[in-house]
Structures are given as C-alpha cells and as structure tokens.
Amino acid sequence: MKLQRIFLTEPNPENKFSTYDNQLEPQYLFDVPEFEEIFRRHEDELMNRVGEELENYINDDDLCNDDEGMFPKPSMLTGEWYLREVSSEDDILFILTALLGIDTGKKDDYLGLEVTFTYDSDEDAFDFDGINSEAL
C-alpha cells in the first residue's frame, strides 16, 4: 500500500495534542530549544524517511495483515497519515504519526506509529532508531 501524508489545518497556538477529530496542527515538545532548530534544519529529510518507514511497516505481512484477530489490518486503512507530535529527549527525536482507518464506519484515527531517531551531533545527522505502534 502506498501512503499519502495529509496536513491538519487548524492552528494550534496552545500546542495541544492533535487528532483527526480536532484537526489541530502538530504538537511540538522539545526538551531544549536548540533541538527544535536542529529538527527544523532536517525536517524535510526526516519526514521523507518517516513516510518510508510507515510504508515499510504497513506493507510487512508479519506486522500488518487481514488475518483473524490481527491488528492493524490493511483493509481498514485509508492510506492517509498525518503528523501528530514531534518531541525530543536528550538526543532522541520522537515523531508520532496517525494513520487513518475506517474500522468505526467513518474515517478516523486508527493506528499510531511513533518513529524514533537518534541525533549524531558530530555528523549533524539523524539515524533511524525504530518504530513503535499503538491502536488509536
């Protein structure tokens, strides 16, 4: 399945947690302000990598299939995802995404995937560290 990133459009001046329901732009929580600057410099490449990792996850039959009792199920996914939250702790960057599904009969949050990266200050580069899932 090919995924498409969508953008929630409601301004988020109070930096609240975003959901498909509230349509708030992503929440940003950085432990140090300098790390946000580093993230912003690398944002395009990071978001491209996040998209690739999301596709790898949902196209892995061991992690995502339509078998009885399985979660997540590809047949429930719309193919759309959005950015919910970006946060950091020390040199670790957490990018929380939500994939939309139709399991409730309408398009809504279905699967949360948190993509993590570690920052190498010597190389000024982020290295993919892993992906964690949660039902939404």
Q: Domain coordinates of the chain in residue numbers?
A: 26-135
Mean pLDDT of the chain: 96
Q: CB under 8 Å to 65, separation ≥6 — which residues?
A: 73, 74
pTM for this prediction: 0.95
Q: Is the predicted pLDDT of residue 104 greater than 90, yes or no? A: no
At 126, the pLDDT band (50, 70, 90 cuts) reads: very high
User: What is Dmax (Cα atoms) for the chain?
Assistant: 49
Q: Are strands 4-5 and 77-89 parallel, antiparallel or unpaired?
A: parallel
Rounded to whole angstroms, the Cα distance separating 123 from 114 reads: 24
Q: Is the predicted pLDDT of residue 134 greater than 90, yes or no? A: no
